Structure 1
Amino acid sequence: MNGAKAWKPLEADGEREVTSHREPGEEFLFYRSVAEGMIDAVQENCSRGAFENMEGVGQLSEDPVTNLRYHFVVTAAMLTRFCMEGGMAMEEAFGLSDEYIRRMDCCTNMAEIVYVHDQMALDYVCRMRNLKKRIASSKQVAEAIDYIYVHIMDRITIQELASAISISPAHLSRIFKQETGISVSEYIRQRKIDMAKNLLRFSDYDFADIAAMLSYSSQSHFIQHFRTQMGMTPKAYRDRNYMNNWNVNRESFTSSGQSPSAP
């Protein structure tokens, strides 16, 4: 096109101090926790002020309030994507994002932005929890699923689960299989493997740590269980998927001559 300037890669400002970015594993674990309806984990993340901790994240503006605004928009976009992948309807996911960005736009200081961020995260996670409970048609099975999500890091027995919702183990086993298509034990195993996959992808915990966190009796038991469910060992899964989304993003940016920043 006549008069158009030729595109060239962005060159770093030599006078600007280069920011050292932290690996985005914590952020991705947060997004996954929201998408999987893990309310306790999201509440813990918000209560310790993870969003407002700017150490090791990209400096998108010299003004601290504007910088936090930009990071808010990134978080909203990521939560929308992860929750849609988790089953949330597209219009609902985008509608929430739009509404909370509008609310954030009315904020005048960092404390207000952090408050709206936490409300947004809790809104998404509660909706995702309810979405995952809708597979159950009875109140008792919905309560059982809710109990499993809250206690996924613990060793859960059918007897304890049945006692928690005040029905017999035999009755729970029957109605759970009838409504979900799988047994209680299999459902618990699947949810533990879901959490293990997130930890393998987005954290540096070793296999013994992950086994202990998820209340497996031993590392070997965890590895055997993982291989049965996934058809590969935890090591093979991590080698294939570690920081997968981030690495793909980094490679695409690097090939264009730009430097990515963690969300």
Structure 2
Amino acid sequence: MSVYNPHNKQPFLGGEVALVGAGPGDPDLLTIQAYRFITQAEVAIYDRLVSKEIMALLPEDCDCIYVGKKQAEHRVPQDGINRLLVEHAQAGKKVLRLKGGDPFVFGRGGEEALYALNHGIACHIVPGMTAASACTSYVGIPLTHRQTAQSCTFITGHVKDCGELDLPWHTLSDSKQTIVFYMGVKSVPVISQQLAKAGRDKNTPAALIYKGTTPEQRVFRSTLQSLEATVINENIKPPTLIVIGDVVGIFDDVMLSNIGYLTPA
């Protein structure tokens, strides 16, 4: 029988950067590897979606630098974040780049790793549970389900600088495909219109998951046609995950708590 031994892993050394996925918010969803790096950090450069419970795991003497982003509102531009990582690593620190979700899923982790490597800084890549899989599981929505959905697509809902959400909409018309939009609340009108235009049934089930896996989690059930009205009527704000597909209704006949716990009706 093999026993997990963290000492068999590459150590976190001064002068290195660790890109660590903190998951969607619930600290129970952290990986053992993420916990190991978090508890060794000397400098933590963190995003706004990292929960306070996870921040509390950092060493007391860790220097914490907030670089959170909102749509069209960046406290520190990406170029500035890249430079912070390198500057603190060059000063000999163990630099933790702490991100909500997974650093390589809409997290710009690839950009940050490339910048560090191009400046001679070694990087640890620590995956985290991305919101699409964690938040949907917590509310009883399987991303795939036999004979209902054989594929799943993750899409960023951020519009470009010109205000356009430019996507290959024709590839999203399959009724057996689940679609998950990150950061898409402000783009809901375009999403609804373009998916319907591409051929998705207007009655396709949809769900909006606000602050999934956290104590503030709320779930709003809707359809593709009524998605925009649901956002307006319920005053739904970011961070909210949007799920579109027949899988949304798989567990309609069971009771569901807010912590991923299903019970018979």
Check whether TM > 0.5: no
Q: Which has the higher helix share?
A: 1
Larger Rg: 1
Q: Output the TM-score relative to the length of structure 2.
A: 0.30
Q: Output the TM-score relative to the length of structure 1.
A: 0.30
Which fold has the larger relative contact order, with Cα–Cα distance below 8 Å and residues 6 or more apart in sequence? 1
